[in-house]
Every structure is written in structure tokens, then in C-alpha cells.
Amino acid sequence: MRPGRRVGRTPDAPERPFSIARWAGREKTHRLGRCSGAYFRSSGALTCYWEAPLKPYETVRSDTLRALPHSGGAIELKHKAPEVTFLGVNDQPDFATLFITMYPRDSVIELRSLKEYLYRWRNVVVSYERFMEVVYEHFMGVYEPVRLRLTLETRPRGGISSRLTIDSDWAIRGGKEEFRDWVGMEDSW
């Protein structure tokens, strides 16, 4: 969070950086969070720095995800979510792409609810591994697919990027390892 600064001067603008609380005489709140500082733009518009409330990963619940009935037949569904964001342990945003491969049983993913579900992670402090575990558990609980494979590709942070994969077909996850198509394959497209 940067301290507030004044850019330009309007007749009622204070002489030095200030907080909204001092300027207006009371704390200003908004649906985005608390305004921690502000400055005037050269146009005279007041700009705030919003502090969004940080949340633990337990606040993201699976009831956001909705299922549509599967019409039947063998099908492989692949979804790519290139705008996944959440907060790392230092409260800095992490950006990633989530690849979802699913062989549905009775239901498929309703994409609007998927978008809403992933959006709920924006102010959540979580590690990559915990994020993958929670998303995997939620998807398995809601959709109960024949097979679910999730791959998370993170953008570089400090020169390091990561790729995490979870597959319900792995024996360690209770699968039978009957789908061997993942061996030596890339999950991106």
C-alpha cells in the first residue's frame, strides 16, 4: 500500500498527504473495503487506496459451483481459465492459468459459476498447493467426474514460475491409473 499523495491542487485540497478519515472527519468505507489514504488528481477528482479485506481459504465454498446435467456419452471436457488470481503468503497477488480436464459422469461444469467461483479467490491468502487441494476437493464433491485433472501454471514471481498438477486417476488419489494419456504430455494448449 502506497501512502497517499497529492497530484495538483484544488481550492479545498489539503496542503499535505492525508487520510480520508482526517479529511472528511470520519472513516469512509466501500464494498471494496476501507479507504486507507487518498490524493487529489490534477482534475480535482479524489482517488482512494482501497484496502480489500483479506480472507482465509476456508471462506471459499463449493456451493458457488453449479452443475448442469450431462447428456450422456463419452466426452472429454477441457476448460482453460487464464485469469486466476489469489494472494500469496506475503499478501502479494499471484497470477495463474488453470487447465481443467474432466470426463463427466452425470453432470458438467456450468461455466458462469466456474468464473464466479474462481473470482472469489482474489482476496484469499493461500499457497499454490493449498489452492490446488481445495479446488480439487470442491470439483470432486460437486461434479463427481469419472476423471478430473487440474493443472495450475503460475506466472513468474522473483524469476520462478511453477506448474502443479492433480489427477484423480493417480493411485495415490484413489484412482486406478487406467488413463495413461498424461504420461509425457503437456497440459497447455
Check which CATH number belongs to the domain holding 104 and give it.
3.30.1130.10
How far apart CA 71 and CA 92 sit, in angstroms, is 42
- Answer with the residue of higher pLDDT: 151 or 49: 151
* Per-residue pLDDT at 153: 95
134 assigned to some structural domain: yes
Judged against a pLDDT cut of 50, whether residue 18 lies above it is answered with no
Q: What are the grid coordinates assigned to 113, written together? A: 459459476
How many independent structural domains does the chain possess? 2
Judged against a pLDDT cut of 60, whether residue 28 lies above it is answered with no
Q: What are the grid coordinates assigned to 19, written together? A: 487520510
Convert the pLDDT of each residue in 70-107 to its tens digit: 988 889 999 999 999 998 877 788 999 999 999 999 99
How far apart CA 181 and CA 148 sit, in angstroms, is 13
Whether the full predicted model's pTM is greater than 0.85, yes or no, is no
37 assigned to some structural domain: yes
Q: Are 72 and 131 within one domain? A: yes
Q: Are 107 and 22 within one domain? A: no
Could you write out the three-class secondary structure of the chain? CCCCCCCCCCCCCCCCCECHHHHHCCCCEECCEEEEEEEECCCCCEEEEEECCCEEHHHCCHHHCCEEECCCCCCCEEEEEEEEEEECCCCCEEEEEEEEEEECCCEEECHHHHHHHHHCCCCEECCHHHHHHHHHHHHHHHHCCCEEEEEEEECCECCECCEEEEECCCHHHCCCCCCCCCCCCCCCC
- Answer with the residue of higher pLDDT: 27 or 83: 83
Percent of the chain topping pLDDT 70? 65
Of 18, 72, 26, whose CA–CA distance to 46 is shortest? 18
Q: What are the grid coordinates assigned to 89, written together? A: 503468503
184 assigned to some structural domain: no
Domain residues for the domain of 144 are 55-173
**13 phi/psi in degrees, rounded to 5:** -75, 140
* Per-residue pLDDT at 89: 77
Q: Are 12 and 99 within one domain? A: no
Convert the pLDDT of each residue in 112-158 to its tens digit: 999 999 999 998 999 999 999 999 999 999 999 999 999 999 999 88
- Answer with the residue of higher pLDDT: 9 or 84: 84
